[in-house]
Chain A
Amino acid sequence: MLTYTIRRLAFAVPTLLVISFLIFGILDLAPSDPTAQLPLTIPPEVREKIRLSLGLGDPFIVRYFKWLVQFMVNEPLNILEQWTGWTIGDGERLRVLSWQTRSPVVDLIVQRMPQTLWVVGMSYVVGIVIAIPIGVISAYRQYSWFDQFGTLFSMVGFSIPTFFTGLLFIVIFSVTLGWLPSIYDTTLVVEDWDSFVAQVKQMIMPTMVLGLYNASQLSRFMRASVLDNLNQDYVRTARAKGMTEKVVLLIHVLRNSMIPVVTVIALNLPQVFGGAIITEQIFRVNGLGQLLIGAIEGGDIPTVQTLTFIFAVLIVVFNLIADVLYGILDPRIRYD
């Protein structure tokens, strides 16, 4: 298992290098001028100097390696310094700078990360909490009205895009009923009961939109997995030994059928970050997704490159986690 993990890790590195090169290349080869949005009164020679100051004078390969070193070496060292308080080297390292704010991109990401993690994390938890009971009951009472309803729920939840459910929720709960705020206020500090209630209120809609979408996908997997397990011999043995249905279902079957579902949960997590881009835009959560959209609209290439690459890293890492987790949870599937 360890050798497998190491081999997979070793394979992840070239994959990420190729992806980083692709992302950098696409953004760099694009026919767009970062100074195009500046006022037209700026004379051409000053414009050229601005381009040089943004680091656009070097050839493509040089810029790629600069970015790679800044992102892969300098930034992790900086984070290490901040966490531990050590000083490594002289502490004067070039960092990936945003063109919009002229501040390091990683600092921007650190500012935006908590909001995204709260919303995405909570929505995923909500999704799992909804999906597991639905999946188990649907499978246990196959073809019952509950199962039919669960199938419909997952089909509808899967088909309706989050940007429509989000707007629908706003129309119903904010515009018509006026129960919940439609804009997520990030400056809110939770210090007493009232602010806690306000925080919960503003989190309900974004987490429910993403959570229902996740639940509709996961409940299908859960149902299929429980159905697979219910027909196994060990279930018959457990029943023959005289165990109650509750024990059979909740201890024997549930634990075994969670194995594939856990890996699906790990595999889908990066996609949820992608989906959060849209949800954050609807509810005005200033998380990573909004940072990305803002950077794309502003033509802020370094921020876009770094963020897109981080999303790619998430996908590769969670794929790895899912594969390793599968081997750990199910001893029958060991790769070596």
Chain B
Amino acid sequence: MTDAAAVRPDADAAAAADAAAAKRRHSSPWRDVWAQFSSHRGALAGAAVFAFMLLVVLVGPFIHDVDPQKLDIRAKNQFMSWEHPLGTDNLGRDMLAQVMAGGQVSLAVGVTAMLLSVLLGTAIGVTAGFSRRLDGPMMRLTDLFLALPLLPLLLVIIMLFRDTLRQAFGPESGIFILIVFVIGITSWMQTARIVRGDVLALKEREFVLAARSVGAPGRRIITRHILPNVLSPIMVSATLGVANAIITESALSFLGLGFPSDFPTWGRLLYDGANFMTLTPDRVIWPGLAISLTVLSVNYIGDGLRDALDPRIRGR
């Protein structure tokens, strides 16, 4: 317990209460987390690969500045060359430029959908854990969402609302909003359950009682004392949420119900490439490899983060 208080300065009431723990706080807590994280070889490799993917996707288009939509029908179906490092597709579009442009969209979807899902999950989890009256209904809602067949439902929602949203927000941002929204509202359940469990345990602890006894209102107890202490499970599920969102978006695009063809994402490139597999098999390999590497690296980061943020494991 003393360890837990010592490494989280945000839970200042608890830390201050424990003077002995405060004295032992010789190094910054985030440095401890980093020390544990960097001792996990897989996590370190994952972080490096993820940073590399980010770099390629964000900086790459400035170096290899070919328009991903530029058609060059004479140079179609080419294999790797200096001019087109990953070859070209059946319309002569440069694959490297497309993979980089697609990566921007895929990563943006992954991060935004994760933010939405974590926000929803935390809000519902904290409410359910903190308020006894809302606990029952909130958890039944979570159970209900867990019982929904998600992939079929996602496909149906996208099929039905695609055209309306495209008209309302334009062809690209309309589908982006729709996909982020549906992934976000169908993936918050795990976060909510974990957060609720942690809040239920934290609520009974002395530092919350102390805060309550000095007259802190519920809102303040949640933001100052509860939330900082549930930060680590939230961070872990946020990391895994990115991986999950990227896979879901690719699956939707792969089934032809995600982004349109002129707006490439990794899943869409895979879907388009699948029809030309016998002719240019590398069109399938590159986007697929990009998805797999990103998801694998994010999963390893999540694994390492879980160990690093758990004070019982750290320092062992």
Contact = CB atoms under 8 A, between A and B. Distances in A.
B149 A308 contact: yes
A170 B270 CA distance: 13
A86 to B, nearest CB: 33
Range for the number of chain B residues in contact with chain A: 35 or more
B270 A277 contact: no
A158 interface: yes
Contacts of A308: 149, 152-153, 156
Given A23-B153, A30-B161, A160 B284 contact: no
A135 B164 CA distance: 49
Interface stretch (A71-79, A161-169, A222-230): A161-169
Interface in A65-122: none
Interface stretch (B50-58, B127-135, B289-297): B289-297
A31 interface: yes
Interface stretch (B1-9, B199-207, B211-219, B250-258): B250-258
A167 B288 CA distance: 9
Given A26-B156, A168-B284, A175-B278, A312 B149 contact: yes
B299 A158 contact: yes
B274 interface: yes
Given A160-B292, A164-B270, A164-B292, A27 B156 contact: yes
Q: Is the contact region of chain A dominated by helix, strand, or loop, or is it mixed?
A: helix
Interface residues of A, number: 45
B159 A297 contact: yes
Contacts of A158: 299
Nearest to B273: A167
A163 B278 CA distance: 17
Interface stretch (B79-87, B140-148, B308-316): B140-148
Contacts of B188: none
B150 interface: yes
A186 interface: no
Contacts of B251: 161, 163, 278
Interface string A21-44: 011001100111000000000000
B285 interface: yes
Q: Is the contact region of chain B dominated by helix, strand, or loop, or is it mixed?
A: helix
A201 B296 CA distance: 30
Interface in A8-29: 15, 18-19, 22-23, 26-27
Given A163-B251, A164-B288, A168-B285, A155 B149 contact: no
A159 B243 CA distance: 8
B277 interface: yes
Nearest to B165: A31
Contact of B296 (A18, A159, A176, A304): A159
A167 B274 contact: yes
B152 A163 contact: no
Nearest to A277: B151
Interface string A302-324: 00100110011011100100000
B299 A311 contact: no
B63 interface: no
A32 B152 contact: no
A270 interface: yes
Given A164-B292, A278-B254, A297-B159, A176 B281 contact: yes
Contact of A160 (B146, B155, B277, B296): B296
A46 to B, nearest CB: 23
Contacts of A1: none
Nearest to B159: A296
A26 B160 contact: yes
A281 interface: yes
B155 A27 contact: no
Contact of B147 (A19, A26, A30, A31): A19
Centre residue among A18, A311, A314 by max chain B CB count within 10 A: A311
Given A155-B42, A164-B288, 5 more contacts: A32-B159, A167-B273, A175-B277, A275-B151, A312-B147
Interface of B: 42, 143-144, 146-153, 155-157, 159-161, 163-164, 243, 247, 250-251, 254-257, 267, 270, 273-274, 277-278, 281, 284-285, 288-289, 291-292, 295-296, 299-300, 303
Interface of A: 15, 18-19, 22-23, 26-27, 30-32, 155-156, 158-161, 163-164, 167-168, 170-171, 175-176, 270, 274-275, 277-278, 281-282, 292-293, 296-297, 299, 304, 307-308, 311-312, 314-316, 319
16 contacts: A15-B147, A19-B147, A30-B160, A31-B164, A155-B303, A159-B243, A160-B292, A160-B296, A163-B270, A164-B289, A167-B274, A176-B281, A277-B152, A278-B251, A293-B255, A315-B147
